[in-house]
Structure formats: structure tokens, C-alpha cells
């Protein structure tokens, strides 16, 4: 595996953005830019031997700076939503900066340009998120690394420590289309998600605290089905999100057994998804282009449902509910989670 770097452009603040290219001997290539530590492209061979880019994105920095879809972004401190932009730890309440109405969504990492380093076969972004940033307590030291294996697995490793109790939930927001980023809607993609339950959400995509079985709902992906089969079903949560946008409670999250599998009957490309996190946000890209197709990478026009996301995560609004896995990180503890996407032909 090799990693090279080259210029990608400048931010509006005049900061140079670096493009890192990870390649292996199996014909796979992953490009990551320092702006938001974003996955800019993923090139994998299809059944005809042609390399297809299966990740949505942009060819230039302004696209990422102006983007509201988080294409390929590293997001945090808290991926997904915190209701009322606030949370409590040990009886003390913390107020954050609202950035989605009255709520807090994803955080500011997706708007930062990071400095990367090549450490052996890993691309590493290490940084300090200072106490009080966006209202979060604690000086947080973060280490994010990407590596590409010879079996066509993209491994993302998240580590962090803090000097004061805080909440933390880090993820990557890549949109996938296994027919190619420029091929139109991804609704024909076959998908399996090994999740028997989901967390109920309201019209603001905030969790109610209820954990529901997928039985008899459009959210049952335990056996393979096309993403588009039930995407417009008569269910309140489908209506709220204009398609899929929900946290799936994974049955047995691990790095040994995939928690989800997607594949394209057209290209033959399949992708296994692994994570140590208890949930994944399954999003079908419903609001990629609410005002009509937008020009993106290689001149492609992206429309709604052009790609789908499997965002490994703790549960949204987790600090509000004792029955959810804790999102609190304390001094002396190490936050450490991994997520992997393995590509192959099916």
C-alpha cells in the first residue's frame, strides 16, 4: 500500500488543502483531502475490470466549503443531533451553539482544514479540540486515521482523550453509489442491514427514546432488498425524512462480522460495512439536491437519492436517555472506535 500527497487547492481563508491518495496492489484507490478530512473518491474495479468511483464529492475546495450534505466529511464532536443543542453530565447542563434550528447537528469538524501526516501505511489527522469549542467541555485530543488494506478494505480508526468529562460521537459521512457516483439514483442498490430494531424519531429527526422492532416496517433490511422498494412507504418516519434517515440498532456490531452489506447488480461491486459502534445512521440521500440537480465531481449532476450513507455512530440524543449507550467520555478513558468498508465483486 502506498500513500502520496499533492495540492488540492486553497480555502477561502487562504489555507492550502492537501490531497492524499491511498493505493493498493489490488487496483483500489482512495483519495482523501485535508479539508474536513473528507473521503473525496473511492475507485474500485467493477466486474468488467473498469475502475469506478463509488463516492460522491467535489473536484474543488469551494464545493466542500459551500456543501450542506457533508459529502465524505469527518464529523464531530457529536455526529447527528443533540436536541435543543444541550446536554447534561453529572447534573451539570451544557449549552452548545445551535446550527440546525434550535438543535445541534454534527459539529464543526466538517468545516475545518486539518494537517495530515503519513505514518507507515496510515494517513493520520491529529488535532486538539479546545475546551469550550462550540460549547463542549474539555480539551479533546483526537487522532483520526485512514488505511487501505490489500483486501480492498478502507479502515477508519477514531481515538480521543479528554481532560474533562464531555460527550463524543465521531463518524464519517461518505455517500456511496456502487454503480458510480455519476450514475443516477442509488435506489436499485441491494442492501442488507443486520438490525432487528431502530430508534424512533420525530419530525425534527430527534429521538423519542423509544427503541422499536423493525418487524412489519419499511426499516426491515434483515433480508436483502433494493433501497428503493419501500422508500416511499406510508410510515411517519419515512414522511418526516422523505425517505430513509434513521438510526438502526445493530444486532452484533464488530470488526469481524459485517453489520451491513450493499451491492450493485449492474456493476457487480459489493461493500461490507463493519463497525464497533452500536448504531448506524442509514440515510438514502433524500435532500442531496432539494432545489434541483447540482453540479458536482467530474461535471456530474447529483439529484436526490444519488447516494446512500451508513454512518457508524452512538445514538443521536444519547445524553438525554439513560437506556441508550453512554456517549460520555471522562478523563483517564480512551474513546476508540473503528469502522471499515470492504469492497469486492459479487
Dump the DSSP string for 263-277: E-TTT-EEEEEEESS
Q: Is 173 a catalytic residue?
A: yes
**CA dist., res. 40 & res. 31, Å (int):** 5
Take residue 98 and report the three cell numbers written for it: 445551535
**CA dist., res. 299 & res. 313, Å (int):** 32
Mean confidence (pLDDT) of the chain: 97
**CA dist., res. 202 & res. 225, Å (int):** 25
Residue of 115, 108, 180, 168 whose CA lies nearest to 138: 168
**CA dist., res. 223 & res. 321, Å (int):** 30
* Full set of structural domains in the chain with CATH: 2-345 (2.70.98.10)
Express each pLDDT in 232-273 by its tens digit: 999 999 999 999 999 999 999 999 999 999 999 999 999 999
Does position 94 have pLDDT exceeding 90, yes or no? Answer: yes
What's residue 240's pLDDT? 96
Percent of the chain with pLDDT over 70: 100
Express each pLDDT in 207-226 by its tens digit: 999 999 999 999 999 999 99
Reported as a pLDDT band with limits 50, 70 and 90, residue 142 is very high
Residue of 149, 150, 146, 175 whose CA lies nearest to 159: 146
Does position 292 have pLDDT exceeding 90, yes or no? Answer: no
DSSP state of 239: H
Catalytic residue among 133, 181, 311, 337: 311
Does position 298 have pLDDT exceeding 90, yes or no? Answer: yes
Euclidean distance between the first and final Cα of the chain, in Å?
24
DSSP state of 62: H
Express each pLDDT in 12-59 by its tens digit: 999 999 999 999 999 999 999 999 999 999 999 999 999 999 999 999
Mention every residue, 6+ apart, whose C-beta is less than 8 A from residue 94. Answer: 86, 87, 88, 135, 136, 137
Percent of the chain with pLDDT over 90: 98
Express each pLDDT in 171-203 by its tens digit: 999 999 999 999 999 999 999 999 999 999 999
Reported as a pLDDT band with limits 50, 70 and 90, residue 154 is very high
317 torsion bin: left (phi>0), alpha (psi -120 to 50), beta (else): left
Q: Is 65 a catalytic residue?
A: no
Catalytic residue among 104, 106, 173, 181: 173
Nearest-5° angle of CA 262, CA 186, CA 58? 105
Asked if 334 contacts 157 with a C-beta cutoff of 8 angstroms, the reply is no
Asked if 95 contacts 319 with a C-beta cutoff of 8 angstroms, the reply is no
What's residue 306's pLDDT? 97
**CA dist., res. 120 & res. 99, Å (int):** 37
Prediction pTM value: 0.98
**CA dist., res. 340 & res. 317, Å (int):** 24
**CA dist., res. 305 & res. 125, Å (int):** 30
Nearest-5° angle of CA 219, CA 223, CA 228? 55
Does position 293 have pLDDT exceeding 90, yes or no? Answer: no
Amino acid at each position: 500500500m502506498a500513500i502520496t500527497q499533492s495540492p488540492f487547492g486553497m480555502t477561502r481563508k487562504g489555507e492550502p488543502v492537501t490531497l492524499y491518495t491511498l493505493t493498493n496492489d489490488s487496483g483500489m484507490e482512495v483519495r482523501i483531502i485535508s479539508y474536513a478530512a473528507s473521503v473525496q473518491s473511492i475507485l474500485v474495479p467493477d466486474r468488467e475490470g473498469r475502475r469506478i468511483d463509488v463516492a460522491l464529492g467535489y473536484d474543488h475546495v469551494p464545493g466542500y466549503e459551500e456543501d450542506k450534505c457533508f459529502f465524505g466529511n469527518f464529523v464531530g464532536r457529536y455526529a447527528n443531533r443533540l436536541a435543543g443543542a444541550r446536554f447534561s453530565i453529572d447534573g451539570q447542563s451544557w449549552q452548545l451553539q445551535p446550527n440546525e434550528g434550535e438543535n445541534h447537528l454534527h459539529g464543526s469538524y466538517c468545516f475545518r482544514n486539518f494537517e495530515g501526516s503519513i505514518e507507515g501505511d496510515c494517513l493520520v489527522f491529529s488535532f486538539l479540540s479546545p475546551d469550550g469549542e462550540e460549547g463542549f467541555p474539555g480539551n479533546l485530543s483526537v487522532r483520526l486515521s485512514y488505511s487501505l488494506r490489500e483486501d480492498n478494505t478502507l479502515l477508519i480508526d477514531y481515538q480521543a482523550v479528554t481532560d474533562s468529562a464531555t460527550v463524543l460521537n465521531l463518524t464519517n459521512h461518505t455517500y456511496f453509489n456502487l454503480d458510480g457516483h455519476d450514475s443516477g439514483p442509488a435506489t436499485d442498490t441491494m442492501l442488507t442491514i443486520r438490525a432487528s430494531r431502530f430508534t424512533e424519531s420525530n419530525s425534527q429527526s430527534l429521538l423519542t427514546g423509544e427503541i422499536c422492532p423493525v418487524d412489519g416496517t419499511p426499516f426491515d433490511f434483515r433480508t436483502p432488498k433494493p433501497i428503493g422498494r419501500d422508500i416511499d412507504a406510508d410510515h411517519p418516519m419515512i414522511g418526516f425524512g422523505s425517505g430513509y434517515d434513521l438510526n438502526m440498532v445493530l444486532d452484533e456490531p464488530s470488526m469481524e462480522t459485517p453489520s451491513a452489506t450493499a451491492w450493485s447488480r449492474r456493476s457487480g461491486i459489493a461493500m461490507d460495512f463493519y463497525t464497533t459502534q452500536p448504531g448506524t445512521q442509514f440515510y438514502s440521500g433524500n435532500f442531496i439536491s432539494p432545489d434541483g440537480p447540482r453540479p458536482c465531481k467530474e461535471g456530474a449532476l447529483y439529484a436526490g437519492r444519488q447516494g446512500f450513507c451508513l454512518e457508524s455512530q452512538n445514538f443521536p440524543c444519547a445524553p438525554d436517555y439513560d437506556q441508550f449507550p453512554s456517549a460520555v467520555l471522562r478523563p483517564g478513558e480512551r474513546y476508540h472506535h473503528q469502522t471499515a468498508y470492504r469492497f469486492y465483486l459479487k
